[in-house]
Amino acid sequence: MKIREQMEEREEQLLSRYATLSRNTKGREKEEKSCDIRPCFQRDRDRILYSKSFRRLKDKTQVFLSPYGDHYRTRMTHTLEVSQNARTIAKALRLNEDLAEAIALGHDLGHTPFGHAGERALNEICPLGFKHNEQSLRIVEKLENYGQGMNLTWEVRDGILNHEMNLRPATLEGRVVRLSDKIAYMHHDMDDAIRGGILVESDVPHSLAKVIGYTNREWIDTFIHNIILSSTGKDDITMSEEVYDAFHKLRKFMFERVYTNPVAKGQEGKVEVMIKMLYQYYIDHIDKLPDYLKKMMDEGVEKERLVCDYVSSMTDRYAVSAFEEVYIPKSWGVM
């Protein structure tokens, strides 16, 4: 018996009846031979981890644009913290940890440079619209590997697409990631805001702190424990009514005090102008796109979508460099 088959049998023996078993996957868009060692979701996790799209996350903004200091989160560290939260919850609930981890590692691959400011800019200027969760799916299906995609399983793709709060993943593992994402960003964005002097832990209203705790460490502990306790033995991922209410109140507090704070967001207007100008430049100079994107245009994909593909794939640093190359005059002459 192959190692993969042995691992699939252990899943059947050990995982919850509500877990998504590897051998029950709905499969891939393109049929391919199974790995003799790794179950399908572990294989997907590895494909995401080794992708160029994943590596680019290390140079993409999470919340704070170009902060001074080495300890502020990037889009990659956010992704790793989401993954850790999801694995902790999935393991405690005896769900498929490989599936949860694969979804978590892939959920933000489609984020633009400079975080949500870049996303807003592309959504405003592109007539086709732009959403990072849809772009994450587009990357794993169409763009990675020079237009070949990653050929991931249906369950991983579903979780990546539906990780936003107003959406509902089909698997419990996807729903674990959906909540783990919000828990992670509230926790680390609060930590970064405290580091940046924007607020202190005691700014959180007392009525809220009585429910979730008085420190950032207590908050994340409360949310994760409550999800596990409330979801055990259920065919859903839930929180208690009191903690879920506190969860939404803390999100509202973070939006009011951090996500719209002029100190943290003061540069976003410049970023949005820069991204829109880059978009317009490549619309007017479509020949500057990589060959695999131009080939997709020959196959009928709208140029507006392909320009979004290219601009959204840029890191913060590359976007600034591209902008300078296109719009900033250079000195010339003979010394």
Gyration radius (Cα) of the chain, Å: 21
Q: Is 131 within the bounds of a domain?
A: yes
Q: Which tokens belong to 142?
A: 């169409």
Q: What is the pLDDT of residues 233-259, one digit of tens each?
A: 999 999 999 999 999 999 999 888 887
Residue 28 φ/ψ, nearest 5 degrees: -110, 160
Q: Are 128 and 304 in contact (CB under 8 A)?
A: yes
Q: Is 328 within the bounds of a domain?
A: no
Residue 279 pLDDT exceeds 70? yes
Q: Is 14 within the bounds of a domain?
A: no
Q: Which pLDDT score is estimated for 5? A: 96
pTM: 0.95
Q: Please list, in sequence order, all residues whose beta carbon lies within 8 angstroms of the beta carbon of residue 327, skipping any fewer than 6 positions away.
A: 277, 281
Q: Which pLDDT score is estimated for 258? A: 83
Q: Is 284 within the bounds of a domain?
A: yes
Report the C-alpha gap between 214 and 27 in whole angstroms: 45
Number of domains within the chain: 1
Q: What is the pLDDT of residues 132-166, one digit of tens each?
A: 999 999 999 999 999 999 999 999 999 999 999 99
Q: Which pLDDT score is estimated for 67? A: 60
Q: Which pLDDT score is estimated for 260? A: 76
Q: Are 55 and 109 in contact (CB under 8 A)?
A: no
Residue 316 pLDDT class (50, 70, 90 cuts)? very high
Residue 332 pLDDT class (50, 70, 90 cuts)? low
Instruction: Report CA-CA distances (Å) from 175 to 144, 220, 222.
Output: 25, 17, 18
Of 231, 234, 232, the residue nearest 244 (C-alpha): 231
Q: Is 10 within the bounds of a domain?
A: no
Q: Which pLDDT score is estimated for 66? A: 61
Q: Is 3 within the bounds of a domain?
A: no
Q: What is the mean pLDDT of the chain?
A: 93
DSSP code for 1: -
Q: What is the pLDDT of residues 11-24, one digit of tens each?
A: 999 999 999 999 99
Q: Is 23 within the bounds of a domain?
A: no
Q: What is the pLDDT of residues 38-47, one digit of tens each?
A: 999 999 999 9
CATH number for the domain that contains residue 306: 1.10.3210.10
Residue 65 pLDDT exceeds 70? no
Task: Supply the range of the domain harboring residue 66.
Answer: 40-323
Residue 264 pLDDT exceeds 90? no
What's the CA angle centered on 144, arms 321 and 108, to 5 degrees?
A: 75
Q: Is 170 within the bounds of a domain?
A: yes
Q: What is the pLDDT of residues 172-217, one digit of tens each?
A: 999 999 999 999 999 988 888 888 888 888 999 999 999 999 998 9
Q: Which pLDDT score is estimated for 61? A: 85
Residue 284 pLDDT class (50, 70, 90 cuts)? very high
- Around 257, how many Cα atoms within 13 Å sit in the side-chain half-sphere? 23
